[in-house]
Structure 1
Amino acid sequence: MLPDYVKAENGFTLFLNEALEGEIKSYGIVVNSFYELEQAYADYFQKEMKRKTWHIGPVSLHNRSNIDKVERGIKTSIDEHSCLNWLDSREPNSVLYISFGSMPRITSAQVLEIAHGLEASNHPFIWVIGRILDYSSREKQQVESVLLPVGFEERVTKSKRGLIIRGWAPQLLILEHPAVGAYMNHCGWNSIIEGVTAGVPMITWPFSSEQFYNERFILNVIRVAISMGNEHWVPLTELPRVTIKSEKVAKVVKRLMGSEEAEVLGMRKRAAEYRDKAMRAFEEGGSSYANVDAFIAELKSRRKIQDGHL
């Protein structure tokens, strides 16, 4: 039997139903992906479901200059030069990049577990800490400042083993840097696409919505990630809690960042291969490049029909 929060009708479920209805009635779908990444799904969608799709991504590759990659419409909270200088001082593939997106459903208590786990892993990291849900009071509220373990930031900063970023980060520049060897994220689709495009293996930590489906895709289909092990989906009506202890954080980070086992080496090889496929797809003559042309041609054709020229 489904839990009540799944069966209940509220503003969020109404929004989802309207979105689904709009998708079903739509003429076609433009996708931030590339054909080579999910070929079987793209073929099934078009041939079996008879839906028009245009895979035109990764759209992040449209950001060519460093200033575009840094800001993307929002000013970063850290100077990109100091961030890149910090990365320049690290060995290739030695840094773990951690970001759970702009709207993470994560508690301050879970933040403490992550911090202790990162410190215990003894691997360099860049951690983007955004607004965190604070449930210390009766009313849910987002807080700008996050309580980290006593002395944590001073220790990791002084030893140059960690870099803490509060707010918006120059994510594309960080992911593309050769010092970055893995990306821990919440499995939002844009984050996954940017990780794939950068060619780095990932540590998955989904929280809600379609993130668990996205996790299955990168774990079991393209096989470029390992899981943190979170299986607790957080509905909007429930308080999130600590789902992963610091020991598990340290264990997973050590496995991906410090292991030479065949599975991890295979992930790194596959991640690099998908990066190359993404680049080729976006270049002239590539699948995404051709899909953009096809999409524009389709729009022109529909416009002529609507204007009564055909």
Structure 2
Amino acid sequence: MSSNLNFLIVPLMCPGHLIPMIDMAKLISQQSVAVTIVITPRNVERYGSVLNRAISSGLPIRILQLKFPASEYGLPDGCESIDDLPSFNLSKNFFDASYTLQKQLEDVFNELKPRPSCIISDKHVMWTSDVAKKFQIPWVVFDGMSCFTQLATHNLCVSKIHEKLTDFEPFDLPGLHDKITMTKSQLPGLFNPGNGDRGKELKKVREKIRETELGAYGTIINSFEELETNYINEFKRIKQGRVWCIGPFSQLNKNDLDKAQRGSKDLNNEHDYLIKWLDSQRENSVIYVCLGSLARLTPPQFIELALGLEASKIPFILVVKGGNKKEEIEKWLAEDRFESRVKGRGVLVRGWAPQVVILSHRAVGAFLTHCGWNSTIEGVSAGVAMITWPQFADQFFNQRLVVQVVGSGVEVGAKKVLHLEDEDAANEIQVKREDVCNCIKKVMKEGNEIRERSKYMKKMAEKAIEDGGSSHVNLRLFIEDIMLHTNKCLAA
């Protein structure tokens, strides 16, 4: 569209935030707009294959590497992503280290050609707001959440209804098109910060993020209008129209290698085995189980999940995440001989799973998910039924959208948020093996209506990003808005 535009993209260094922003960089650059993405050396190693392939194809993407001072802030060498943290209690160290990127960026800002026309920043990287003000360009927020979540958050901030309630007292979320009932214990940390000094400290940080976010020029959403029409329209009204839904980003990856390497450049024999195993399964017969890059089930809760999968007799792929409890989980797997018992019917994946590849395979019929927004919209785009097991942040909101608004999933029965920083909740079990088994059977054997709804939403997702589709039109409107703003500033 224009060779004099340059969109500066600044992600939070965390898979669930970096991956969609890399996809976004590719999406924008396909409109002949230069994109500069800010990233650190360790993350270049991790995501560089996808970026360099895009650059080699002729897309105008540039990588701006900034040094991440991990060891200077008490972090292990090479710890440049939140999922690399040995403990979430080091989160403050990580964010303090991230703030050093501001001066580095400001020092090279005027050397960037063309001069950046706007900053598109993850909302958690608050210092980018100051950079945008200093260089007098629009600061656009990428939140990585749905408009349903954005609207629910806005309405709770205004009404403060949650402040009068006990943790497990049901209430209807105010001001929504659908009747959605939740409890305070299921709300994100902004409204439900947890106990103790740590909870109070994080609440202040979240309030600061919220306050900063309200000053944004506009908001980009990884969603599409057909998925949450009423919520997008209302959120646009609140934001004076400067909301652009340009997703789903995962649909952008048509190349099998791009799909496989979205979260890691390393593909090993385990990946090859996984695909061959999927090829051998019947269509829509497999359930894929992954609770995200950060969610870390306690060992007792992992055991309930694993035994529920086994009892279902349904073929499955289970991604094993344990964090600092990984050794306990591996010890149980070995002593219980779980993998031997499910051999041929179940596959366990350690480390990074090529999620988009798996979800798009003909053999996968359902997705047991933590309802992070990336996973949620990837599941919607793949047209698979979902079993929802939210853990924290916006995930209970996403569950309600999938189950009650879209109608493409069922709840496994999680009752409350498990705060990432609360690593002492070592023996908590919210979901029993019977709950897991029953939900799987319900979706895989009886869920015809859910599967039909899922297939319909897949078609809508595909249409949205095609030429003339809702997301394609919104992307062009966003670029035109920044172009108009840039030309006005040049003329002034």
Aligned to 2:395: 211
Q: Distance in 1 between matches of 2:328 and 2:213?
A: 36
Greater displacement, 214-223 / 76-85: 76-85
Tell me the SS of whatever aligns to 1:123.
Answer: coil
| Greater relative contact order structure (CA < 8 Å, 6+ sep) | 1
- Opposite residue 205 of structure 2, the aligned amino acid is F
Distance of aligned partners of 1:121 and 1:73 in 2 relative to their CA distance in 1, 3 Å threshold? closer
Q: Is the 8 A contact 1:97 1:126 kept in 2?
A: yes
Aligned to 2:252: 62
Does structure 1 residue 199 correspond to structure 2 residue 383?
A: yes
Q: Give the C-alpha shift of residue 154 in structure 1.
A: 1.3
Q: Distance in 2 between matches of 1:112 and 1:247?
A: 12
Aligned to 2:342: 156
Q: Is the 8 A contact 1:107 1:132 kept in 2?
A: no
Does structure 1 residue 33 correspond to structure 2 residue 223?
A: yes
Distance of aligned partners of 1:115 and 1:282 in 2 relative to their CA distance in 1, 3 Å threshold? same
Q: Distance in 1 between matches of 2:327 and 2:305?
A: 18
Greater displacement, 87-96 / 6-15: 6-15
Q: Give the C-alpha shift of residue 51 in structure 1.
A: 4.5
- The structure 1 residue matched to 2:484, chosen from 292, 295, 301, is 301
TM-score when scaled to structure 2? 0.57
Q: Distance in 1 between matches of 2:300 and 2:293?
A: 19
Q: Distance in 1 between matches of 2:267 and 2:415?
A: 32
Tell me the SS of whatever aligns to 1:5.
Answer: coil
Tell me the SS of whatever aligns to 2:398.
Answer: helix
Q: Give the C-alpha shift of residue 297 in structure 1.
A: 1.0
C-alpha distance after superposition, 1:251-299 (max 9, x if no partner)? 111111122xxxx211111100100000000111111111111111111
- The structure 2 residue matched to 1:274, chosen from 457, 472, 476, is 457
Q: Distance in 1 between matches of 2:316 and 2:233?
A: 39
- The structure 1 residue matched to 2:475, chosen from 266, 283, 292, is 292
Does structure 1 residue 253 correspond to structure 2 residue 253?
A: no
Does structure 1 residue 190 correspond to structure 2 residue 374?
A: yes
Percent same amino acid among aligned pairs?
Answer: 36
- The structure 2 residue matched to 1:112, chosen from 303, 311, 336, is 303
Q: Give the C-alpha shift of residue 145 in structure 1.
A: 5.8
Q: Give the C-alpha shift of residue 301 in structure 1.
A: 1.3
Q: Is the 8 A contact 1:108 1:133 kept in 2?
A: no
Q: Distance in 1 between matches of 2:276 and 2:346?
A: 13
Tell me the SS of whatever aligns to 1:164.
Answer: strand
C-alpha distance after superposition, 1:48-70 (max 9, x if no partner)? 45241111111111212111000
Aligned to 1:138: none
Q: Distance in 1 between matches of 2:455 and 2:207?
A: 38
- The structure 1 residue matched to 2:365, chosen from 151, 169, 181, is 181
Q: Give the C-alpha shift of residue 233 in structure 1.
A: 1.6
Aligned to 1:12: 202
Tell me the SS of whatever aligns to 1:34.
Answer: coil
Q: Distance in 2 between matches of 1:249 and 1:162?
A: 15
Tell me the SS of whatever aligns to 1:25.
Answer: coil
| CA RMSD across the alignment | 2.1
Q: Is the 8 A contact 2:381 2:462 kept in 1?
A: yes
Q: List runs of 5+ in structure 2 lacking aligned partners.
A: 1-164, 168-192
Aligned to 1:89: 280
Q: Is the 8 A contact 2:302 2:329 kept in 1?
A: no
Greater displacement, 240-249 / 173-182: 240-249
